[in-house]
Chain A
Amino acid sequence: MFEGWDAVTLARAQFAFTMSFHIVFPAFSIGLASYLAVLEARWLLTGREVFLNLFNYWVKIFAVAFGMGVVSGIVMVYQFGTNWSAFADKTGSVIGPLMGYEVLSAFFLEAGFLGVMLFGLKRVGPRLHFLATLMVAIGTLISAFWILSSNSWMQTPAGYAVNADGQFVPADWFKVIFNPSFPYRLVHMVLAAYLTTALVVGAVGAFHLLRAPHQAGARVMFSMAMWMATLVAPIQILAGDQHGLNTLEHQPVKIMGMEGHYQSHPDGAPLILFGLPDQQEGKVKYALEIPKMGSLILKHSPDAPMPGLDTVPRENWPPVPITFWSFRIMVGMGFLMFGLGLFGLWCRWRGKLFESRLLHVFAVLMGPAGFIAVLAGWITTETGRQPFTVYGLLRTADSASPLAAPAVGSSLLAFVVVYFVVYAAGLTYLLRLMAQPPLAGEAGPPREVPTRTAGVTPLIEGATQ
């Protein structure tokens, strides 16, 4: 099996596949961990039981999603060695320590406090428990810091030298960590994670409001989620625009791919809204475009010249049909989120936040929008970096392990089968949890043991276990 296949292509397929399954879980758990910390803080400050109920409701969902993120994340770390050993040898001295710091400062923090967060409320009391929740939330953010730093270094390498063995070695750690695209990518991704979570929380709240409009828990979560969408979606659009300008400065070829600019435009480039990029012919067919708009957005001047892919050797072209479309999907999702936020604000102003069925249906449909945008965004940035792993310096073809196609193909097949089984089951369990409304006296994770002293009545305990 797999004889005659290209081992590098199979390795790329494996990375793309395992990464796509992995990324949605951190994106969700970064936002959800912060949301849980906010819920618990509000419970401690106000004493209102609805916040504790919501905490217990979402912490069960967090436990399932977090577990799936952990196990799929270990696969990613080891994949650098199994499938991309030349990359590991050449870049290990630079990005290895960044990932080392991620493990030491983030993974251990999350894992060390997760058990107490899930099962320990009755054992350690509310204050220490809140500390544990806070540590888990901070851990997810520290993790984002380090992994985005190392990813950004692959996009915009800085602070390095190359030694006699052809390895990248660090010259200035500050420049390595705070490489040119890192601050933009970090802000863009953390906001994306918060929006993704807000849309899921909002969809679940809306779903339960559609079924029973007076549930306290559903109202609180829906209102909180709509505030997030209203406030963060416009900030995210601004952040995305800044990230795009940064990319234009440091990775102009990626922008050409995203915009479908095969041709150079010496007196102002159009904004191609839609079209069919044809990589062979080097043009976008059936293009629907707004003249000068591309230069206006990217250079803030309608007549600014924009070089196209015709100035770049063909062997350095990114796969335009992919980045062109993934970018449009991401942007489209962003504007839909903005629309939801505005609609939510309008309904709130009219006092119809909990009554407008149209808003609730819209919010339910937007539940997966954050995941779609995150995936599309990552496909844009990672595919746009091709054909390099370290942008402009190390080609993807020179990064792979010395393995034949049968090895890489078999492991790819195994991951596909296993992930579909495991993630189908996980998704089923997550949706089943979300289909239940948050109740008064909501219990925590199944094996958390309520004691009589904590105000949880035995009746509810019996009913939920």
Chain B
Amino acid sequence: MSLAIDLATIWAFIIAFAVFVYVVMDGFDLGLGILFPLFPAKADRDVIINSVEPVWDGNETWLVLGGGGMMAAFPLAFSVLLPALYAPMIAMLIALVFRGVAFEFRSRAQGERNPWDLAFTGGSWLAALAQGIALGAILQGVQVEGRRYAGGWWDWLTPFSILTGVSLMIGYALLGATWLVMKTEGSLRDRAYRLSWLLLIAMLGAIVAVSIATPFLHVQYTQRWFAWPNIILTAPVPVAVAAVTALLLRALANKYDYQPFFLSLALFALSYAGLGISMYPFIVPQSITIWQAAAPENSQMFLLVGVSVLIPLILSYSAWAYWVFRGKVRPESGYH
């Protein structure tokens, strides 16, 4: 595989970066929602919500950048993939509506049982599942004729896409659990540790399952991973997954605060790199390459200027916001 550095490739990396930042940042937010039913006490739930409330909106903005950036840089891919992923995308949007308003609404609702806790949980479950299904549906490829999606509106539903959907839910839950380890104390943190163990094992199972299933989708995926000389480049990925797993197990055993979360992020990064290796240079697998989908140079260049100046700025002030709200969140005192 050749790695010519051209504008379309740069943009492929920018979109991939935006989606990755979204996946890990909103991933732990959604993970907290997925784990919500396991923490029924109101005091615990308030701590969990407090730990992300000041930053969740910024996290979700990366999703808008991923979508908007794709429409700008690869309009053909955007216009083929979204109709192909119609039902999961609509489900995700609706789920994110419930999840998003729940942050504000749950503190406004009166009465014993808070309906917005249910909206937070349900929204997080559904958004994570829909995103994972969308990932699987993209990997298995969609039917394209000319410049349009040519399949039906249930084509995305396969055992493989369900597998990726459930896998992503597990992954997000792991991020959520290790986030809690980092941000909380006492019995809440102890429970988060125990959950992290279970979820790590489940996550490894999911990685193995998806890795085994992917080469069966297309012969190209098999060649990409196992043909000589590609294997020199691809072999380090599973080795690195094993190494990170070992470190993560050690961190959990030693009850470290920060390491479990950041090592889980590393696990996500490696899985994501694996997906990138499988897909490149296709943006709609096996039908449309990044060069075919690319907007004219004039468009990609114009937005690239903004990206190069503004993304470093965004990363700086977002980091500042995390810094302002650093440290453990204590019950009943919120950020103190």
Contacts and interface: CB of A to CB of B under 8 A. Distances in A.
Interface in B91-118: 93-94, 96-98, 100-101, 103-105, 107-108
A407 B153 contact: yes
B122 to A, nearest CB: 11
Nearest to B94: A418
B299 A96 contact: yes
A67 B104 contact: yes
Given A77-B67, A115-B321, A402-B83, A72 B97 contact: yes
A93 interface: yes
Interface string A100-111: 111111011111
Interface bin, chain B: 35 or more
Nearest to B295: A93
Nearest to A419: B97
B65 to A, nearest CB: 5
A170 B302 contact: yes
A114 B56 CA distance: 10
B274 to A, nearest CB: 26
A358 interface: no
Interface stretch (B208-216, B245-253, B304-312): B304-312
A169 B321 CA distance: 38
A82 B80 CA distance: 9
A113 B322 CA distance: 11
Given A78-B82, A411-B90, A96 B73 contact: yes
Given A77-B67, A100-B68, A402 B148 contact: yes
Interface of A: 63-64, 67-68, 70-75, 77-78, 80-82, 85-86, 88-94, 96-97, 99-105, 107-116, 118-120, 123-124, 163, 165, 167, 169-171, 173, 401-404, 406-407, 411, 414-415, 418-419, 422, 425-426, 429, 432-433, 445-449, 451
A265 B295 CA distance: 46
A63 B104 CA distance: 7
B31 to A, nearest CB: 19
Interface string B279-302: 000000000000000011011001
A70 B104 CA distance: 12
Nearest to A451: B336
A381 to B, nearest CB: 22
Contact of B302 (A77, A97, A425): A97
A447 B54 CA distance: 10
Contact of A67 (B49, B86, B103): B103
Contacts of B333: 449
A111 B298 contact: no
Contacts of B75: 88-93, 96, 167
Contacts of A415: 94
B197 interface: no
B55 to A, nearest CB: 6
A111 B104 CA distance: 15
Contacts of B37: none
Interface in B58-76: 58, 60-61, 63-65, 67-69, 71-73, 75-76
Interface string B238-274: 0000000000000000000000000000000000000
Nearest to B294: A93
Contact of A447 (B50, B76, B296): B50
B257 to A, nearest CB: 21
A449 B81 contact: no
Contacts of B201: none
Nearest to A115: B54
18 contacts: A72-B97, A93-B295, A93-B296, A96-B73, A96-B295, A100-B73, A109-B317, A115-B58, A116-B54, A119-B53, A119-B334, A123-B324, A401-B149, A429-B105, A433-B108, A447-B49, A447-B50, A447-B335
A262 B310 CA distance: 49
B225 interface: no
B71 A449 contact: no
Nearest to B84: A85
A92 B72 contact: yes
A81 B81 contact: yes
A74 B58 contact: no
A169 B296 CA distance: 7
Contact of A92 (B96, B295, B324): B295
Contacts of B82: 78, 81-82, 85, 88, 401
